[in-house]
Amino acid sequence: VIETDLLAGTGSLLLGVIGDPISHSKSPAMHQAALEALGVPGSYVPMHVKSGQVGDAIAGIKALGFRGINVTIPHKLEVIPHLDHLDETALRIGAVNTIVNDKGVLTGYNTDGIGYVRSLKEEAAPDLKGKKIMVIGAGGAARGIIYALSLEGPDRICVANRTADKAEAVAAEWKDLADIRGISMEQLPAYLRDADILINTTSVGMHPNVSDTPVEADLVPDGIVVSDLIYNPLKTRLLAEAEQKGCIVHGGLGMFVNQGAYALEYWTGLPAPVAAMRNAVLKSMS
Ligand code: ATR
């Protein structure tokens, strides 16, 4: 049961998401289904906020008594100066996707990377300890994931990127946490040969460019875990080809659902109804 002092004096839990664009977000459908499954009275609303108006939006969140919001593209960095605290993960990634409002005191979190790792462990690779991991891409999505993976005790994380300098910069940031190295796409085949897990964080293969793939299937070792952050399509060309080689494949839907699950748990203190959330996203996609 939810504590009544979280209910904004209205008897209703107020939640939402700010972004630009926002109309295609699947977060409202997912969180509304979660509130229903939990039996918590409340609303999760999409809010269209333009760059330059993030500070005003955050002041509004406080004045209106929102318990929490998600922050999506392009505001994950811009929102930071308007918050009172950042948790360790958000601080180290340098981006916020979830805000908790505790009686007017705002704390920023980043649940993207930890949501991804929770999904990967539950759905494909239960133990990441001692594993050799290959991450393709070094953009915003990769940053959160590499940070979260580095806390799991991997043997090694390789970051391969089209722009190799960016891979090296990301690797340098967290080398205190794990053996992380940045490499070029030319070096990828040599390191992929003995990898246990391959993760695509780039947009290569995303709808509508479904015939693209970030790495040719003949370079992927048989039977390893192959994960793709893309969830439209649910099974990318990379995953379909890997599956044919006997790989354990993991799509991006679980990351989206679990970043939301962590956010909901921060807002409510209740365990998230993950299955209901996943079903709501699938329903909104069909
Ligand atoms: P996101 O927040 O989704 O990670 P991003 O920060 O723009 O978006 O990063 C996109 C990532 O996908 C980068 O690693 C990018 O490579 P570059 O750093 O070389 O730009 C990678 N990427 C995007 N399109 C690509 C393509 N056609 N081929 C290879 N890599 C691509």
**Backbone φ and ψ of 132, nearest 5°:** -100, 115
Using one digit for the tens of pLDDT, what is the confidence trace for 71-123? 999 999 999 999 999 999 999 999 999 999 999 999 999 999 999 999 999 99
Q: Are 25 and 72 in contact (CB under 8 A)?
A: yes
Beta bridge partners of 271: none
Beta bridge partners of 182: 159
d(CA 216, CA 94): 32
Residue 192 has pLDDT above 80, yes or no: yes
Each domain of the chain, given as residue ranges in start order, spans: 4-110+255-285, 114-251
Q: List the residue whose alpha carbon is closest to atom 2 of ligand 1.
A: 140
Using one digit for the tens of pLDDT, what is the confidence trace for 118-166? 999 999 999 999 999 999 999 999 999 999 999 999 999 999 999 999 9
Beta bridge partners of 46: 17
Using one digit for the tens of pLDDT, what is the confidence trace for 24-76? 999 999 999 999 999 999 999 999 999 999 999 999 999 999 999 999 999 99
pLDDT at 207: 94
Q: Which pTM value belongs to this model?
A: 0.95
Report residue 154 as tokens. Answer: 């991997």
The hierarchical CATH code for the domain 114-251 is 3.40.50.720
Query: Are 4-110+255-285 and 114-251 the same fold in CATH?
Result: yes
How many whole angstroms from 286 Cα to the centroid of ligand 1? 27
Second-level CATH architecture of 4-110+255-285: 3-Layer(aba) Sandwich (3.40)
- The one-letter amino acid at 23: S
Beta bridge partners of 181: 158
Report residue 222 as tokens. Answer: 């048989």
How many whole angstroms from 183 Cα to the centroid of ligand 1? 15
The one catalytic residue in 76, 121, 131, 175 is 76
d(CA 205, CA 91): 31
In degrees, rounded to 5, the angle at the alpha carbon of residue 189 between the alpha carbons of residues 186 and 190 is 100
Report residue 79 as tokens. Answer: 């929102």
d(CA 92, CA 86): 9
The H or E element that residue 225 is part of is strand 225-228
Q: Rounded to the nearest 10 degrees, how much is the dihedral formed by the CA atoms of 211, 217, 218, 224?
A: 180
Active site residue 50: no
Angle between helices 253-268 and 27-38 (to 10 degrees): 50
How many whole angstroms from 15 Cα to the centroid of ligand 1? 31
